[in-house]
């Protein structure tokens, strides 16, 4: 675990200026959630790989970096410099290049247990109060409309179309509310369902406030 402080420093440097909801605070929470899930599930895994993948998963994401290939090359060099084994390097890179929702639109990768847990932790971050705020933050940064009843949610089947986005509210139906059923572990599924219910309550309130003439506020 002696490499983790360097991993944290690297992630902080790469993510500290992010304005899309994928900053260092997000990475830190994913690492904490992943550690908690692994402990609850009582599984055997390489904890260094788990934590490293959690902190680094967005440092090569096209939502965050302008050139994924360059970011990936720099990360691979960094992992080698701080003496991760070749096996650890390969597992970390495989996890973070294959764990995203958009990646799974085209093909689902066979992630290791560490990868499955980091994926669950990242997806929990897209749910609940944090998920609501991050969705609005991301949508605003990309100038997506907040809501338009005439624009219906899309069942995306490829990453290119998914990246275009529709509206902030549609994103709940296009991705977020689908996540609980995609969890890999029982621990994450239980928490995902709790957060999902919170989001559904939020949406109910949102629709009332969106059309106050039809609401029963007063």
Q: How far is it between the farthest Cα atoms of the chain?
A: 64
Give the model's pLDDT for residue 195.
98
Out of 141-145, 164-168, 199-203, 212-216, pick the least confident: 212-216
Out of 6-20, 178-192, 202-216, pick the least confident: 202-216
Residue-wise pLDDT for 70-116, tens only, equals 999 999 999 999 999 999 999 999 999 999 888 888 878 899 999 99
Q: Is the entire prediction scored with pTM above 0.75?
A: yes
Q: What angle do CA 27, 188, 114 make, to 5 degrees?
A: 60
In this structure, is the dihedral angle defined by the CA atoms of residues 140, 144, 150 and 154, taken in order, positive or negative?
negative
- Name the nearest CA neighbour of 114 among 49, 56, 58, 187: 49
Residue-wise pLDDT for 154-207, tens only, equals 888 777 777 777 899 999 999 999 999 999 999 999 999 999 999 999 999 999
C-alpha to C-alpha distance for 144 and 168, rounded to whole angstroms: 6
C-alpha to C-alpha distance for 169 and 48, rounded to whole angstroms: 37
Give the model's pLDDT for residue 192.
98
């Amino acid at each position: 675990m002696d490499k983790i402080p360097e991993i944290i420093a690297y992630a902080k440097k790469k993510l500290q200026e992010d304005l899309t909801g994928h900053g260092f605070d997000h990475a830190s929470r994913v690492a904490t959630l992943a550690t908690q899930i692994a402990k609850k599930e009582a599984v055997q895994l390489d904890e260094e790989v788990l934590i490293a993948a959690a902190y680094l998963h967005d440092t090569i994401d096209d939502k965050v970096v302008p050139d994924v290939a360059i970011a990936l090359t720099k990360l691979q060099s960094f992992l080698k410099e701080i003496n991760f084994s070749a096996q650890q390097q390969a597992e970390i890179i495989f996890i973070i290049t294959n764990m995203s929702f958009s990646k799974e639109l085209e093909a689902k990768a066979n992630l290791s247990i560490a990868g499955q847990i980091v994926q669950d932790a990242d997806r929990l971050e897209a749910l609940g109060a944090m998920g609501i705020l991050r969705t609005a933050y991301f949508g605003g940064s990309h100038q997506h409309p907040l809501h338009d009843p005439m624009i219906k949610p899309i069942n995306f089947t490829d990453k290119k179309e998914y990246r275009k986005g529709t509206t902030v509210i549609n994103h709940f139906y296009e991705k977020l509310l689908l996540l609980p059923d995609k969890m890999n572990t029982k621990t994450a599924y239980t928490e995902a369902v709790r957060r999902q219910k919170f989001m559904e309550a939020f949406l109910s309130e949102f629709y009332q406030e969106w059309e106050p003439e039809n609401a029963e506020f007063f």
